Structure 1
Amino acid sequence: MEWYREIEGVLSDLPPTSKRPPSSSSSSSPQNSVVHLAQVRPQDAGSYLCRANNSHSVDQVVIQLVVYVPLHVQVSPPTQIVDVGRSTSLRCLVSGSPIHSLVWLKDGVPLAELENGPSSSPRFEVGPREVLKLVRVQPDDAGMYQCLASNDFTTGQDSSQIRLGSVLPELVYRFSEQTIQPGPSVSLKCTAVGNPPPQFTWTLDGFALPESERFLVGQYVTIHDHVISHVNITQARDEDGGLYACQARNAMGIALHTARLNIYGPPFVRPVPPIKGVAGKNLQIQCPISGYPIESISWER
């Protein structure tokens, strides 16, 4: 029996030390029936030819050796801060072989299965050399990105975190105008996102809310970094009506929403504190009036 290895299309005889008879074989077993490869290496992969002959004939078989090397995955950079609207990229470096598949995931979900993944949005681009590019990053793009490489016997993975840089406040929920009778309790709510997380302030007709135990202002942050603020008014009275405003502010800017709360009742004008104006600048003064309906408002000086 003879063993050969094909290297670049040329058959080369294997060294004698790599051939041996089976340990369980008898003295009549064919010599060189087994090839022994000590500490298999990736470069040992390829085609091996076993040829047997006797006085009658010659026969041979080609054996393909595939060497699996444990996969090791590294995603770079491991973490980065990206401003909304900017683009960035991640690179997945894989060592080991063979690599049968390579998949990108976000927070454990394949990108192709996300609502804003490659199947529905051009903002995710998987390029050559296992590079994932995020075009015009949006708030929902923050999270953990995983690169998963696999073959029939082993898998490897690594992850990278993308955090958002500074983001202008954005109101994702706003209370609407209401018209009610006096008596029931009322809740007004606004929800905002932004980075740093915005802080809310509430006003009524442009002034601070009345100092009353019937007014309760609260704010909290959800696990999704949504900042929720509310004003709860217990046993609403006709003088509680007016133009309510929620304002979300962070270091990047302001988001503002206003809507009226109309409460049936006679007209009522709240006291107005002194107002300061700057010469040469525009000034707008809101009349702090409640009651509903209001037929007319007049100003005098």
Structure 2
Amino acid sequence: MLPKKLFMLFCVLCLCVSISHTARGGGRGKTGRRGSRLYNSRMPVIIQHRNLASKNYYENKDGAKIIKASHFELEYMLGRKITFFCMAQGLPRPEITWFKDGIELLYHKFFQVHEWPMGNDTMKSKMEIDPTTQKDAGYYECQANNKYAIDSRGFRTDYVMVTY
């Protein structure tokens, strides 16, 4: 039987190898750069709770959780529309905020967010950019939060050039 510290080190190394493999394009469901499809947009995370308070925060049954979201990768044609979708659940109903490359997105005439409250515990949100430019390529994220927890989902996007 392995000592506990050695076992934890082994788990961390396995996770690092898995992340490295996925970042290089390996993993299940990947069919190449163009036309790729990933089946799971969430990287597994091992959370070791240090105390009861942190466990209650991360595993709170009323905490904000994203229950549906767009696919992880999207390639768009310049001048066309980008659309991302997020649905979150929690009590109180979560608020959804959109980010690009880590910076909160603010409204402008080419960027719109539509939200639909559903019942007292669910929020649907759709983010659209129309028309798109080269500057719209990047990493987008929807973040759902309420007073108990925060959950987020990320989406990578890049443009394609069509030549005739």
Tell me the TM-score normalized by structure 1. Answer: 0.32
Q: Which protein shows a greater Rg?
A: 1
Higher RCO, Cα 8 Å, sep 6+:
2
Instruction: Report what 1:289 is aligned to.
Output: none
Cα distance in 2, alignment partners of residues 237 and 213 from structure 1: 14
Question: 1:210: Cα distance to partner?
Answer: 5.5
Structure 1 residue corresponding to 2:67, chosen from 172, 175, 178: 172
Alpha-carbon spacing, 1:169–1:229, altered in 2? closer, same or farther (3 Å): same
Question: 1:212: Cα distance to partner?
Answer: 2.5
Cα distance in 2, alignment partners of residues 224 and 251 from structure 1: 15
Structure 1 residue corresponding to 2:134, chosen from 235, 238, 244: 238
Query: How many pairs are equivalent?
Result: 101
Cα distance in 2, alignment partners of residues 181 and 225 from structure 1: 36
Structure 2 residue corresponding to 1:186, chosen from 74, 82, 86: 82
Long gaps (5+) in structure 2: 1-59
1:91-240 alignment runs, 5 A limit: 167-176=62-71, 177-209=73-105, 211-223=107-119, 225-240=121-136
Long gaps (5+) in structure 1: 1-164, 266-301
Matched AA of 1:200: I
Tell me the percent identity: 26
Q: Structure 1 stretches (4+) deviating beyond 4 angstroms? A: none
Question: 1:222: Cα distance to partner?
Answer: 1.8
Cα distance in 1, alignment partners of residues 81 and 68 from structure 2: 20
Alpha-carbon spacing, 1:250–1:223, altered in 2? closer, same or farther (3 Å): closer
Cα distance in 1, alignment partners of residues 120 and 63 from structure 2: 16
Cα distance in 1, alignment partners of residues 157 and 93 from structure 2: 27
Native 8 Å contact 1:215 1:234 kept in 2: yes
Cα distance in 1, alignment partners of residues 95 and 119 from structure 2: 16
Cα distance in 2, alignment partners of residues 247 and 192 from structure 1: 9
Deviations along 1:148-201, whole A, 9 cap, x unmatched?
Answer: xxxxxxxxxxxxxxxxx9601111111111012112112111001000000011
Q: CA RMSD in A?
A: 2.0
Matched AA of 2:65: E
Question: 1:211: Cα distance to partner?
Answer: 4.7
Corresponding residue SS for 1:236: coil
Cα distance in 2, alignment partners of residues 231 and 188 from structure 1: 5
Cα distance in 2, alignment partners of residues 243 and 216 from structure 1: 17
Native 8 Å contact 1:238 1:264 kept in 2: no
